[in-house]
Amino acid sequence: MKNLFWKLIVLIMVALLSASVVLAYLFDRAISEPMNVGVKGTTVVVNRGSTIGSVAHKLAQQEIIEYTQPLVWYVRLTGQANLIQAGEYRLPQGINPVEFVKMLVVGNVIQLPVTLIEGWTFKDIRAALSRAPQLRSETSDMTAQQIMAAIGMNGISPEGRFYPDTYLYTASTTDMDLLMSASAQMQQVLASAWQRREQGLPYATADEALVMASIIEKETGSAGERAEIAGVFVRRLKLGMRLQSDPTVIFGMGEQYKGNIRRSDLKRTTPYNTYRIKALPPGPIAIPGKASIEAALHPAEGNALYFVGKGDGSHHFSATLAEHQKAVEKYQRSGRRKDYRSHPTRAAGK
């Protein structure tokens, strides 16, 4: 009887050991064999706060894996359950669960680009962000003032405060995240340029230089002219002359601008009508690029006080009013081109 008992114990232990070996084999096979991903690959979105259980369930729903438990057990046994990063992941053909978990932990997510372009207004920026695929919206119901307060710039106009560049984002990124990055980038670029500025410029603060840079940005798209235009405006400010910049008038008109500036528009006093005020406008009129910021802080030397568009995107610069009037007659009146344009074509914000 005693021998029969021990034989039974041995048989049970052998059975358990055999079962363990089989289970270990099946588990190893389940996490090391390729998942069901086609030749073109597939994508999986992991939302913020997702557990490995919810991720495995999503994979099963997409028929990428058949059973969820092996993946869940592997992640928990290896202590990686709290290391999963949100985002959109592209799974190539042949990937197995172990390799997929490495992607989740490293955060090897798909990155998408969105570009903010020099000369854009804040309205253009918001429109571009609203069109960006998979960019999560947090600001759609917020006013411009609320957005600036959330960024930490309460009471400041959003115009000109976001650096024009291409920003990469993931499926877990929000439009507020991008705005904060672009704002921080603009502050950094402006602060660095301000530290290296020419001496004797008519700006009391870096903000005033940003205002000037925004005007330069809207006046020309020609890289070679930015410093020259900056020189004209700087000399005008020093002499107490009005800037007489059309882009500032247009900005001040807002929705009333329909493509043409009338004589009555130039006579109307607004904070942005530089035909009426002998100073810089109270704030930027668009986002300037680095080149325009550098031009505002390193204007070209010379004696020109006037410039007029030649119709090909470039300008004629004059030192005297008489010379300027002749240039206006030549390029704007009798000699105006049919294909006249004030600056080179740039990407639109719509």
Residue 89 maps to which CATH number? 3.30.1490.480
As a whole number of angstroms, the distance between CA 61 and CA 59 comes to 5
| Residue 327 and residue 234 in one domain | yes
| Residue 305 and residue 246 in one domain | yes
Write the pLDDT tens digit of every residue in 18-67: 555 555 555 567 677 888 888 888 988 888 888 999 999 999 999 998 88
- Out of 69, 89, 110, a domain closes at 110
The total domain count for the chain is 3
Position 15 scores a pLDDT of 58
Position 346 scores a pLDDT of 46
Residues of the chain with pLDDT under 70: 1-28, 30, 334-350
Write the pLDDT tens digit of every residue in 175-186: 999 999 999 999
| Residue 203 and residue 294 in one domain | yes
Domain that holds residue 181: 112-190
Q: Which of 174, 216, 244 is nearest to 300 (CA)?
A: 216
Position 67 scores a pLDDT of 85
315: three-class secondary structure by DSSP: strand
Position 311 scores a pLDDT of 80
102: three-class secondary structure by DSSP: helix
Evaluate whether residue 300 is within a structural domain.
yes
Position 19 scores a pLDDT of 57
- Out of 190, 223, 249, a domain closes at 190
Between the CA atoms of 241, 242, 247 and 249, what dihedral angle is there, to the nearest 10 degrees?
180
113: three-class secondary structure by DSSP: strand
